Amino acid sequence: MIIPLLQGLKVTLKYLFAKKVTLQYPDEKPQLARRWRGRHVLKTHASGKIKCVACMLCATACPAECISIVAAAEPDNRKYPESYVLDMGRCIWCGHCVEVCPKEAIEMATAYELAEYTREDLIYDKEALLQSPQERYVVEKRKAG
Amino acid sequence: MVTIYVDNMPYQVREGQNLLVACLSLGFDIPHFCWHPALHSVGSCRLCAVKIFRDENDTRGRIFMSCMTPATEGVRISINDPEARHFRASVIEWLMLNHPHDCPVCDEGGECHLQDMTVMTGHVYRRTRKKKRTYSNQNLGPFINHEMNRCIQCYRCVRFYRDYAGGRDLDVFGVHSRVYFGRLEEGALENEFSGNLVEICPTGVFTDKTFKKRYTRKWDLQTAPSICVHCGLGCNTIAGERYGTLRRILNRYNGQVNGYFLCDRGRFGYDFLNSDRRVREPLAKTGQGSGSTALEPISADEALSRLVDIVQNSSRVIGIGSPRTPLEANFALRDLVGEENFSSGMAQAEQDLVSLIVHILREGPAPSASLRELESADAALILGEDLTNTAPMMALYLRQSVRRKPMAVVNELRIPGWLDAAVRGAVQGNKGPLFIAAPIAAGLDDVATETYHAAPDDIARLGFAVAHELDTQAPAVVDLPADRHALAVRIAAALREAERPVVVSGTSSMSPAVIQAAANVAWALHSRGRQVTLSFVAPECNSLGVALMEGRSLEDAIEMAERGQVDTVVTLENDLFARAPRDLVDRLRASCRNFVVIDHCLTGTAEVADLVLPAAAFAESQGTLVNNEGRAQRSYRVFPAPDPIGESRRWLSKAVMARARGRTEEWESFDDLVTRMRQALPVFQPVSNLAPSADARIVGRKIARQPHRCSGRTAMLANVSMREPPPPRDADSPLSFSMEGFQGISPPPLNPRYWAPGWNSAQSLNKFQEEIAGPLRGGDPGQRLIEPRDNGGREYFNAIPVAFSPSDDEWLILPSYHIFGSEELSALSPAIAERIPSAYVAIGEEDADLLGMSEGMLARVEIAGAAESLPARIVADLPRGVALLPKGLERLKGLAIPVRARIGKAVQAEKS
Ligand code: SF4
Ligand code: SF4
Ligand code: SF4
Ligand code: SF4
Ligand code: FES
């Protein structure tokens, strides 16, 4: 009867002095794996031009149907998305969009602090998706600009 | 029937086909490129390889091209044989050597035959790192985009363009691995059927330029079965929409009507729907009563209350219908105003012609030919029509008909009809009989046996003479010049020899005598036991439909309005200024208190209205159109028009309810309206059998207008509202505005798109047909409303006109037609507008000498007191005393043609 009690106590004592795994988020930030599926980013070429050619494959692959693209072409026939809307509120973070992209134009970055007060604010447009992956997407900035 | 063995299973197939067609008809997938059901086999791509075995003991077999091998009794083939599969995959591999693989930016992607075939053969890996050859592209005009790098040298484009459609300006250049398909010089493709290259080309070399401007993947388009509204032939189309704009038109196969093709007017004319001439909100003259105030937008509620107010306080309302609007809307108007106050919206002259056509087709005995039947006619006589410009698809099929008779040689040589190159070699350019009598050279003249260019009266006289040659009972033409008599004898002889001759005529010469002459010829042939058909060109997409409603003519309605007691005129989708002289319409306008116009575009008529109600155009409304053959066909909504635009019949239904005066029954639904129409006008009895009614379901579901892969559903409207709105309801049809619903092979009248697993391109059509190039599974849609009575004795027409005699100071003005420009709606499409010629007056060479005029000189044309100066066009074979003005061109609208006019040199000062 006393033995199991002592065994339990042993576990308790062991963890009392072991290294803590609890992270004091948000004061402390976690180390993320490189393949972490965080917020999407649309990538650009070195020239600054958007890589996406508006092929619609990501929108088609998306099981949540939450990407909507309007295609356009530059005078030299180079295609680009005139508008690219991704509704993060509907996204299920499956990564299909990234996997299917033939141009490696969309990636999921490590940014994960995406909570907003309204669902409207979770709708990311092209401009928002073009922000650098580290930056937290600032709603006010979009609203102001 | 013969038995063939496919992978050791026996199948019964029709004799005389090739193995590819037989297997596709059986539902097998055999990859192919160069074979096309309308262009047949040339065996150039080598993709359709299958193994053929000598007998059941033969295990090795040999590879054959299935498209080049007849399906004979007992032939044993294997589609799945590993060697055949490997062969096909290597064909794709070598075709891919130079293919750019630019699917992500290619407009063909997602509906590409090359993609489908690549996946089907299983070729996946590029083993060479060699450079690909590249080409420069050409600007081929406003319709077609050119991207030559994608070409796989299947030769379908030139075979269609040159051999099938008679085009001259697209060709193949170069040798070896550097062949080039394009024009000698950059420039717009001239042929009227160039748009079909979009569907013919199995790759993305030729794509729709108008679609490119608002590009959307095929799988994202919301589509529905539609009917072309740009001429009287009623070709079946698939119209596609995304984000509330109509984006493109594709062919919808109908084995009785347009088959595999469309003309460029029909394919690219849709853009009027998105034009800035669209009426998008109700407009009204704000200062009540005073006619001069401008139209200003008002709210839908106010518009409705004004309409109700006007209708309730009017003792007599005249309704002017329209031959470019479906039956249902016209009937709703007729219902509102009463039978005696309903006008067909056609001018008297046009109405008489169309009614005459209806009369002839009803009286018989020669039945009306379906569009596709023209292809199999073995002799044709065209009286007074420039088909390429008035009924383009008819020209395309008659062009094929000239190959019918020389095919006798082919049969003698025992060459199968589908062996295209051999057939063309055997025929050696020989042509069957096709006679054209028209005022000027027409697009089909290059394949005609003989042509005769004359004034309509002389054309009619020739027709009457031919009829008399065929049957002496038919009235004779006195004092016909010897050469013309000889021509009549030759035509009669050729027609008499034929088994299935066709006589083509129509309204474009504006002459009843020409139509009567055509009827006489057909009846005379019938009396000689020929299986003759008649084919009349009707001016607009529902001309025959409104004619069957037997309304008043426009002039009649105007006169009635002027006699008084008419407070209100409601005009339905009709630009009266394009149909009647300006002063006549002005008189109508002046004679009524309220002038209401329901239309989708701001026409001249709408501009003078007190109240304009925004109407839904063809892809936004559901309705039935009756084509030139008398075939009623249903067109569905592709997308609901944005508020406050409403379907015409909805506006009218509200007005009817307001005016009820004790009438309680109403028609909220489309089917109710059709039922009422059938009761009131029994001729429309078959209209309710055209398609399943609105409550029909397939396995309990509506048919989805959007493909199952449609993307972005939850994000498309996110910028408007966070909440995904419920899809719009469609109470009028068994189709849903959603990707949810039945996605399989739907009944042909309701089928919204061609797609089958593994077949994303338009070629998936073969899964929808009973047999290749045959009727659709479930029957071709449409029902004929007009059939000839029994073969009772028919009195020949005997009002033979006197010969046309030119006078020295007056010219007979006739309309000339242009595929781009003569039809008002397509003319509003930017792409079509680029191809519209500028206004001119055409005169013959002799007349030009007489007037001392040369090409391009300004001529003064004086019609009934009003003068216009127009540049002259000298047309070599235009008969003396006849001049042509292009129909429908903005400056020349509403002229009551034919008319007599004075023509002279314009005074220099008038040059504008
Ligand atoms: S991660 Fe998945 S759900 Fe999210 S946008 Fe991409 S495909 Fe759609
Ligand atoms: S898959 Fe890639 S290239 Fe294609 S639309 Fe999406 S992000 Fe753009
Ligand atoms: S352009 Fe198209 S149709 Fe013509 S040969 Fe090339 S792939 Fe075939
Ligand atoms: S032939 Fe007439 S109905 Fe057919 S596509 Fe052309 S305009 Fe439309
Ligand atoms: S389809 Fe048979 S060889 Fe091209």
The helix (H) or strand (E) run that includes residue B884 is strand B882-886
Give me the residue spans of the domains in chain A.
30-144
Which numeric CATH code is attached to A30-144? 3.30.70.3270
Encode pLDDT of B490-541 as tens digits.
999 999 999 999 999 999 999 999 999 999 999 999 999 889 999 999 999 9
The single-letter code of the amino acid at B253 is Y
Residue entry with tokens 């991207």: B147
Contacts of B725 (CB under 8 A, 6+ apart): B717
Region B175-181: mean pLDDT is 90
Encode pLDDT of B262-271 as tens digits.
999 999 999 9
**CB of A55 sitting under 6 A from ligand 2:** yes
Give the DSSP letter string of B154-177: --HHHIIIIIIT---S-EEE--TT
**CB of A67 sitting under 6 A from ligand 1:** yes
Give the pair of three-digit tokens for residue B189.
Answer: 């493709």
Give the DSSP letter string of B665-728: ----SHHHHHHHHHHH-GGGGGGGGSS--TT--BTTBPEESS-TT---TTTTTTTT-SSPPPPP
Asked if B521 and B804 touch (Cβ cutoff 8 Å), the reply is no
The single-letter code of the amino acid at A4 is P
Cα within 13 Å of Cα(B868), Cβ side: 16
**CB of A92 sitting under 6 A from ligand 1:** yes
Sorting pLDDT into bands at 50, 70 and 90, what band is A20? confident
Encode pLDDT of B437-447 as tens digits.
999 888 899 99
Region B276-293: mean pLDDT is 77
Give the residue from B219, B226, B216 showing the smallest Cα distance to B735. Answer: B226
Encode pLDDT of A24-61 as tens digits.
888 888 888 888 888 899 999 999 999 999 999 999 99
Strands (E), B56-211: 62-65, 76-78, 144-146, 171-173, 180-182, 206-208
Give the CA distances from residue B512 to residues B191, B289, B383, B520, in Å, rounded to whole numbers and listed in that order: 31, 42, 12, 12
Residue of B609 and A142 predicted with greater confidence: B609
Interface test with B, best of A52, A55, A92 (most B CBs within 10 A): A55
Whole-angstrom distance, CA of residue B334 vs CA of residue B94: 64
Whole-angstrom distance, CA of residue B598 vs CA of residue B575: 10
Residues in chain B: 912
Chain B contacts of A69, Cβ < 8 Å? 712
Quote the ligand 3 centre to B183 CA distance (angstroms).
13
Contacts of B757 (CB under 8 A, 6+ apart): none
The single-letter code of the amino acid at B457 is D
Whole-angstrom distance, CA of residue B246 vs CA of residue B101: 29
Dihedral of alpha carbons B206, B208, B209, B213, sign: negative
The single-letter code of the amino acid at B195 is G
The whole-number pLDDT of residue B910 equals 44
Residue of A142 and A35 predicted with greater confidence: A35
- Say yes or no to pLDDT of B820 above 70: yes
The whole-number pLDDT of residue A137 equals 53
**CB of A54 sitting under 6 A from ligand 2:** yes
Q: Answer yes or no: do A55 and B215 touch at CB < 8 A.
A: no
Cis peptide before B439, with omega less than 30 degrees from 0? Answer: no
Whole-angstrom distance, CA of residue B30 vs CA of residue B20: 7
Whole-angstrom distance, CA of residue B685 vs CA of residue B436: 37
Residue entry with tokens 């008969």: B879
Give the pair of three-digit tokens for residue B483.
Answer: 């050469």
Q: What does pLDDT average to over chain B?
A: 91
The whole-number pLDDT of residue B677 equals 93
B512-527 vs B482-497: helix crossing angle, rounded to 10: 50
Encode pLDDT of B455-482 as tens digits.
999 999 999 999 999 999 999 999 899 9
- Say yes or no to pLDDT of A131 above 90: no
The whole-number pLDDT of residue B311 equals 86
Q: What does pLDDT average to over chain A?
A: 87
Region B155-164: mean pLDDT is 96
Give the pair of three-digit tokens for residue B830.
Answer: 């930017």
SS3 per residue for B298-367: CCHHHHHHHHHHHHHCCCCEEEECCCCCCHHHHHHHHHHHCHHHEECCCCHHHHHHHHHHHHHHHHCCCC
**CB of B203 sitting under 6 A from ligand 3:** yes
Whole-angstrom distance, CA of residue B856 vs CA of residue B844: 13
Asked if B903 and B871 touch (Cβ cutoff 8 Å), the reply is no
Whole-angstrom distance, CA of residue A145 vs CA of residue A64: 29
Residue of B661 and B811 predicted with greater confidence: B811
Share of chain A above pLDDT 70, in %: 91
Buried b (16+ CB within 10 A) or exposed e, A111-136: bbeeeeeeeebbbbebebbbbeeeee
- Which of A52-56, B419-423, B648-652, B892-896 shows the lowest mean pLDDT across its residues? B892-896
SS3 per residue for B843-912: EEHHHHHHHCCCCCCEEEEEECCEEEEEEEEEECCCCCCEEEEECCCHHHCCCCCCEEEEEEECCHHHCC
Whole-angstrom distance, CA of residue B141 vs CA of residue B245: 23
Residue entry with tokens 């029509």: B385
- Say yes or no to pLDDT of B912 above 70: no
Region B226-240: mean pLDDT is 96
Q: Say what the alpha-carbon torsion angle B100, B102, B103, B106 is, to the nearest 10 degrees.
A: -110
- Say yes or no to pLDDT of B713 above 50: yes
Tell me if the pTM is above 0.80.
Answer: yes
The whole-number pLDDT of residue B911 equals 43
DSSP 8-state secondary structure symbol assigned to residue B698: B
Cis peptide before A26, with omega less than 30 degrees from 0? Answer: yes
Give the residue from B602, B728, B643 showing the smallest Cα distance to B304. Answer: B643
Q: Which residues 119-138 of A have a C-beta within 8 angstroms of B?
A: 119-120, 123, 125
Asked if B320 and B299 touch (Cβ cutoff 8 Å), the reply is no
The single-letter code of the amino acid at B798 is N
Asked if B780 and B257 touch (Cβ cutoff 8 Å), the reply is yes
Beta carbons within 10 angstroms of residue B672's beta carbon: 15
- Say yes or no to pLDDT of A21 above 90: no
Chain B: residue whose CA lies nearest to A56: B217
Encode pLDDT of B331-357 as tens digits.
999 988 999 999 999 999 999 999 999
The whole-number pLDDT of residue A145 equals 42
Asked if B193 and B159 touch (Cβ cutoff 8 Å), the reply is no
Distance, CA of B65 to chain centre: 35
The whole-number pLDDT of residue B484 equals 94
- Judged by DSSP in three states, B85 sits in helix
Order across the sheet with B62-65: list the strands: B9-13, B2-6, B76-78, B49-53, B62-65
Which ligand does the CA of A97 lie closest to?
1
Encode pLDDT of A95-105 as tens digits.
999 999 999 99
The whole-number pLDDT of residue A135 equals 60
- Say yes or no to pLDDT of B292 above 70: no
The whole-number pLDDT of residue B288 equals 52
Sorting pLDDT into bands at 50, 70 and 90, what band is A144? very low
The whole-number pLDDT of residue A116 equals 86
The whole-number pLDDT of residue A136 equals 55
What's the complex ipTM?
0.86
Whole-angstrom distance, CA of residue A96 vs CA of residue A93: 8
- In order of start, what are the domains of chain B with their CATH numbers? 2-96 (3.10.20.740), 106-274 (no CATH), 811-910 (2.40.40.20)
Whole-angstrom distance, CA of residue B133 vs CA of residue B143: 26
Encode pLDDT of B112-145 as tens digits.
999 999 999 999 999 999 999 999 999 999 999 9
Give the pair of three-digit tokens for residue A75.
Answer: 């005078």
Task: Return the residue whose CA atom lies nearest to atom 3 of ligand 2.
Answer: A52
Q: Say what the alpha-carbon torsion angle A132, A137, A142, A145 is, to the nearest 10 degrees.
A: -50
Encode pLDDT of B50-62 as tens digits.
999 998 889 899 9
The whole-number pLDDT of residue A5 equals 93
Interface test with B, best of A52, A58, A65, A80 (most B CBs within 10 A): A65
